[in-house]
Amino acid sequence: MKRNIRRYLLLITIFIRLAHCTTHEAGTQVRDIDGHVYNTITIGNKVWMAENLRVTRYRNGEPIPLIEDSSAWSTSTAGAYCHYNNDTNNLALYGRLYNWYAINDSRSIAPEGWHIPTDEEIADLVSFLETNPASAQKLKVKGLGGYRFCNGGSYHTIDFNGYWWSGTRSYELYDWSSRLFTGFADVQRNRYESNYGLSVRCIKD
């Protein structure tokens, strides 16, 4: 009897774990230069990180500055990162937020073998989600991290909206919708929009 109960509990445990891992490509992970390990997912024919980036150094080992002060964040013209609400308790679930200068730095914040998604890859993602809207849930794994405003450095929409950098602008996803949009912060407009703090999901080369 006890053996049957143990077997039953084991099966329940396995089922629960599988239910939480169905959006991950089994056994596939990527490690950044700081040693953070990320699960991955496959959407269409591309492999994405299933979690927001948490790295604090560029690929060559040089540090990305942490900027908590609101005024300094709004006026910075160099790469920087922060934690939502300047609270490191948000790190594990939501990752870090980065400004455009960190994204556009030639030293690269993406792990080796990975890159910031291009506009073309975002367009492919949008096209795929138009016919497979349920797949958008995969991007919501680990929480939607909101954003940091470019002017004033305030924080907004955690758990309700996710905003991620692409190669030249950004894209967003709502908690209550599978729809995906591009162009939230078009960094080509002016310098100030380069100071948005957005999440990063890298894509495999």
pLDDT in tens, 95-140: 999 999 999 999 999 999 999 999 889 888 878 877 777 777 766 7
More confident residue, 177 or 147: 147
Q: Map tokens 């939230």 to a residue.
A: 184
Phi, psi for 90 (deg, rounded to 5) = -85, -10
Domain ranges of the chain: 24-204
For 31-143, where are the alpha helices, taking DSSP H only? 70-75, 91-94, 100-103, 119-131
| Other C-beta atoms lying within 10 Å of the C-beta of residue 19 | 8
The reported pLDDT for the residue numbered 198 is: 93
Identify how many contiguous H helices and E strands the chain contains and give both numbers. Answer: 5, 12
Short-list 27, 25, 32, CA closest to 47: 25
Per DSSP, the three-state class of 82 is: strand
- Chain segment 57-81, per-residue pLDDT in tens: 999 999 999 999 999 999 999 999 9
Give the pLDDT band of residue 141 (cuts 50, 70, 90): low
What six digits make up the tokens of 7? 């077997």
Give just the sign of the alpha carbon dihedral 114, 85, 169, 61. Answer: negative
Is residue 158 within 8 A of residue 90, CB to CB? The reply is: yes
